[in-house]
Structure formats: C-alpha cells, structure tokens
Amino acid sequence: MTASLSLEAMSFRYPGSAAGVAAIDLAVRERELVAVIGPSGCGKSTLIKLIGGFLAPDAGRIGLGGEDVTAAPPARRGLGIVFQSLALFPHLRAWENVAFPLKMRGLGRAERRRAAMEAIERVGLAGLANRRPAQLSGGQQQRVALARALVFKPRALLLDEPLSALDAATRLAMRDEIRRIQQEYGVAALHITHDQEEALSIADRVAVMRAGRIEQIDTPEAIYDRPANRFVAGFVGHANLWDGTVAGSDAVSTAIGTLRTAPQGRAAGARIAVLVRPEHVRIGPGGERDNRFSGAVTRDRFLGAQRRFDFTVAGGTLAGVTATRGAIAAVHVAPEDVTILEPDPTHTN
C-alpha cells in the first residue's frame, strides 16, 4: 500500500540559525495515526510548516497520495490542518467555517451547507452550527476545526498540538474523539504533540524527535519497552536511567552497583546506558537471581490507585510505582527488566 503522506530525506534550516529539521524520513499510511513527540524546539512545528507548504525544504521530497507536492503551494496540497490556535475564522458561523474549503472548491451554496451540516453532526456539534467561534467552548471550537479540516476529504490530516489550549478533562475526552473521528474518515493523520501520554494512547506509531531529527519511530509499546537510546527512554514514560559500562556477559556496572542482566553479547568495558522502568522496581527482598537493594523510602507520593516512591540506596535512587500501601524495606529488579541502551547519541550537525 502506498503511503498517504511521505517525507523523504527532508531537511530545512532557518536562515542564520542552527534550528530546523534534518534528514526526516517518515511515511504515514491510510487510516494510520502517527504521533510526533519531542521537547519544545525539537522541530515538530517546523515539520508541520514544511508539510503544509508554509516553508520550503532545503532538500528532500514531500509526497501526498503518491504525488510529489514538494513545490506545490499550500492551497494545492489538499491537506486538512488543525492549527495549534485552531485559526477558526472569527467572522463566520461554525457551519460557514466548515463550508469554507468547499466554497473554495466551487461547490454551490446548498450543497456545501448540506455537506458542512453533515460534518458538524459527525463531530458531535449538531445544534450549534449557527454559533460563531467566540460563542463556543474550547472543546467545541476544536470539533469545528476538525470538521473543517476533514469535510473536503483531505489527502492527510495534520494536527499541530491541537489539544494544548484545553483544560485537562476536555483534553482527555478530545483525544479519544480525535482518534474516533480520524478512524471514521479513514484518513492518514500526523499528530504533533509534546504530551507523550497523548501520543502513546491514540497513535498507531510514535516518532520521537530531538534537535531536528527523528530518534525512533515505532509502535507505542515498542517505543516504551525497547527505546532506541537513553534520550527516548527518558522522554517517553518514567524511567530510572544510569550511565554504565558492560561488566560481563550478564552484568553491567553502574553508580548503584553491578546489576545482573539477561545474557547479552556486548564487549566488556563498552559504554552503555541502563534503563529500569519504575513498575519493574518490585517490593520485597526478591530471589537469588534478582538484583537486590536495601535502603529507605525518601519520597512517597500517594496518587490514589498508585503510589510513586523514591527508594534511596547506596549510590543513587530507584523510582518505583506500586499499588501496595505498607512500609518498604527492600526492593529488587529482575535481570530481564534491566534494559541496556545505547548511550546518549551526539549528533554532529
């Protein structure tokens, strides 16, 4: 199956600065939702501007539905974009906003009104079609923006941090709505966000960006369980991370001592990073094979269903998560839960 949206070796640098994106390769298939996450300034928004045609790449190719649109103006790309500020037209009613792209495509008034009303119904706004943007709540405006971006059957949907302006409760509801509506329209979507939980929960695949480059693209589970490097491990989810060296075929040495790992074939002395997810820090003395620690809880945060604690041992701290409430005297980590990663990559740009 050909990709709905493809980026090949795309690079761009803002004139007179080092910021931009470099060597971006990314393909989004039909019906697929790919989330792009990364810290601010990593080039996420630049990516949207390049795909939207508001910036021209220095090198590389942008394809939409198999057509090369690298040089096409924004109006010819046929992309549905939901902007961070939503960019609803303040002087037009909700349905008129949604009908705007149809008007630009030359549809008659009756026809575009009918299509706009249908789209407004599909995003769950029936009855509010005649309101102006200022008369709608944040979540409702979000739905109008989505309907406007989808009503003309775009070749792909771009979402530029669309939920960042909403309050927490609305944000949770809207992210499921985005997924539902995207699936209903069967459109390829690229969702830019700085919220890793949002990305993990609704995306088919997640791309993690840093300093203008994609560090890893994979399914949410793979990104979490098998991060490509220390940066990805630290950015996605909670993590205990240490720098270390390989001490043997099943051991690594770190600041908190030598840890037993699953057998691995690295050369002794090689620089590596070590990851232990908090849910793998288990309470109790553990068995003979486990990495066993004694120490004391130095921070304890009760979060309702969960409890996050910092367990200080000789040489460092282990962050853990548990559902139990009692005192914690010892913790252990199974060898297979000690993940060895490449050390932090350093790009030479």
Partner 1 sequence: MAWVTGLFLVYLLLPIVLLVVGSFGEVWTNTLLPSGITGKWYAAVAGDPSFRRAFLTSLWVTAATAASVTLIGVPLAYALHRARSRWARIGGRVLASLPVAVPPLVLAFGFILVFSSDTLPFLGSGWVLVGGLTALTLPYMVQTLAADMRHLDLETLEQAAASLGAGQRQRFLEIVVPALRHSLAAALAVVCAIAIGEFQLVNLVAGFLNRPYPVVLLQAFYGATGFACAATVVLLALALIMSLATAGTRSGIRAIGASGA
Nearer to partner 1, 101 or 227 (CB): 101
The least CB distance from residue 146 to partner 1, in Å, is 13
Assess contact for 50 and 10: CB atoms under 8 A: yes
The least CB distance from residue 66 to partner 1, in Å, is 20
- Residue pointed to by tokens 């030359």: 106
The least CB distance from residue 163 to partner 1, in Å, is 17
* Residues forming the site for partner 1 (CB under 8 A): 52-54, 73-75, 77-81, 83, 85, 87, 89-93, 96, 99-101, 103-105, 109, 148, 152
For residue 116, give both structure tokens.
């706009």
For residue 284, give both structure tokens.
């109790």
The least CB distance from residue 92 to partner 1, in Å, is 6
Assess contact for 186 and 153: CB atoms under 8 A: no
Nearer to partner 1, 106 or 263 (CB): 106
Alpha carbon distance 48, 74 (integer Å) = 12
Nearer to partner 1, 138 or 234 (CB): 138
Angle (CA) 251-257-261 rounded to 5° is 25
Smallest CA-to-CA distance from 190 within 161, 216, 213 is with 161
Nearer to partner 1, 5 or 333 (CB): 5
β-partners of residue 312 are 296, 317
Distances in Å between the Cα of 10 and the Cα atoms of 25, 62, 75, 116, 287 are: 7, 8, 21, 35, 51
Nearer to partner 1, 50 or 233 (CB): 50
Nearer to partner 1, 93 or 210 (CB): 93
The least CB distance from residue 96 to partner 1, in Å, is 4
The least CB distance from residue 46 to partner 1, in Å, is 14
Alpha carbon distance 52, 62 (integer Å) = 10
